[in-house]
């Protein structure tokens, strides 16, 4: 199939590479011409503007926007809509708010242009591991683009089948799911990221307690000097808390046991805030997720080893560079 990608950052460029590896044709555009040139060398079709990008696509066109949420995504989709035709589809694969998705889908539908919101998880490792995709939008449009989603997703081979599941493996076992109408994909991804905050915070706090075990107030007999890298490594092997996040923690600690390259100023992407707000709107208690968000706020004033671990994890899975305190 053919797809256009607008935004060739850490995620966008690797989405293109994974699609091209599967034999799909990609037309690419970014305000950074060097990013476009780099992918053109690898086989992508370059476009220097959104108007040129649209002319290089066959109808019905599919354009995936992979930009930071907010003004960048909003203005790009608005401009794209001026060039597209009925039957085309705009995809927002970034971390937009589901309220924006509902509005955009309504506005584009007035021009008979489809809109999909896709929560995309996989970070900088997605090129090799594949991407977990959570999709909102019209079912017919989702099915039309299913070969693209199959190419991006990890596939059934990386995880053993859940024993209770029976029958032919569906898209969820390949690694992508049509979650519902406009906004549903980003809503599910929003909650995914909120849970991620909580899981990361639990790991970070646990390792901080282990690191400070040599300060016991009960005397020398109760003081312990732990090798955090070894503990992370042994937990990876058969423990109940084994996970990809623990794998990344083990890797970070193996590289630098003191995490001295991090100050511990931890940013939040916005989805953690939106998750907490959704919990408030729905009157659902979310103590852990809320506390994890507040811990990130506190990290910008005061830093502990736990915050260094959070910074390290964010860099490991997403390539997020820590924002230094001004």
240, exposed or middle or buried, with CB in 10 Å at 0-12, 13-18, 19+? exposed
Q: How big is the CA angle at 126 (ends 169 and 278), to the nearest 5 degrees?
A: 80
Distance CA 177, CA 137 (A): 11
Count of C-beta atoms within a 10 Å radius of residue 194: 23
Closest CA to 49 of 65, 68, 28, 67: 28
Q: Out of 128, 196, 205, 271, pick the active-site residue.
A: 196
Number of Cα atoms under 13 Å in the Cβ half of residue 76:
26
- Write the DSSP symbol of residue 163: T
Q: 196 an active-site residue?
A: yes
Q: 189 an active-site residue?
A: yes
Distance CA 41, CA 20 (A): 12
Q: Out of 189, 205, 271, 322, pick the active-site residue.
A: 189
Task: Provide the 3-class DSSP secondary structure of residue 95.
Answer: coil
Catalytic residues: 189, 196
């Amino acid at each position: 199939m053919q797809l256009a990608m607008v935004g060739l950052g850490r995620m966008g460029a690797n989405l293109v590479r994974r699609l091209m590896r599967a034999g799909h044709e990609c037309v690419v555009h970014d305000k950074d011409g060097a990013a476009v040139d780099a992918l053109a060398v690898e086989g992508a079709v370059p476009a220097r503007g959104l108007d040129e990008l649209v002319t290089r696509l066959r109808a019905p066109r599919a354009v995936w926007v992979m930009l930071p949420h907010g003004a960048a995504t909003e203005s790009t989709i608005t401009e794209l809509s001026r060039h597209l035709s009925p039957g085309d589809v705009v995809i927002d694969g970034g971390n937009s708010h589901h309220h924006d998705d509902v509005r955009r889908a309504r506005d584009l539908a007035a021009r008979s242009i489809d809109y999909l919101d896709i929560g995309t998880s996989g970070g900088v490792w997605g090129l090799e591991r594949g991407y977990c995709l959570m999709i909102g939008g019209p079912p017919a449009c989702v099915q039309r683009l299913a070969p693209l989603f199959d190419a991006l997703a990890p596939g059934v081979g990386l995880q053993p089948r859940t024993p209770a599941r029976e029958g032919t493996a569906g898209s969820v076992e390949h690694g992508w799911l049509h979650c519902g109408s406009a906004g549903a994909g980003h809503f599910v991804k929003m909650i995914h990221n909120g849970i991620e905050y909580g899981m990361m915070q639990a790991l970070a706090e646990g390792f901080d307690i282990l690191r400070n075990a040599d300060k016991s107030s009960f005397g020398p007999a109760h003081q312990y000097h732990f090798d955090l890298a070894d503990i992370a490594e042994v937990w990876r092997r058969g423990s109940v808390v084994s996970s990809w996040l623990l794998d990344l923690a083990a890797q970070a600690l193996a590289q630098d046991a003191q995490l001295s390259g991090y100050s511990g100023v931890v940013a939040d992407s916005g989805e953690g805030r939106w998750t907490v707000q959704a919990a408030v709107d729905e009157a659902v208690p979310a103590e852990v997720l809320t506390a994890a968000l507040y811990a990130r706020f506190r990290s910008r004033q005061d830093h502990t080893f736990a915050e260094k671990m959070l910074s390290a994890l964010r860099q490991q899975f997403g390539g997020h560079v820590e924002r230094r305190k001004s």
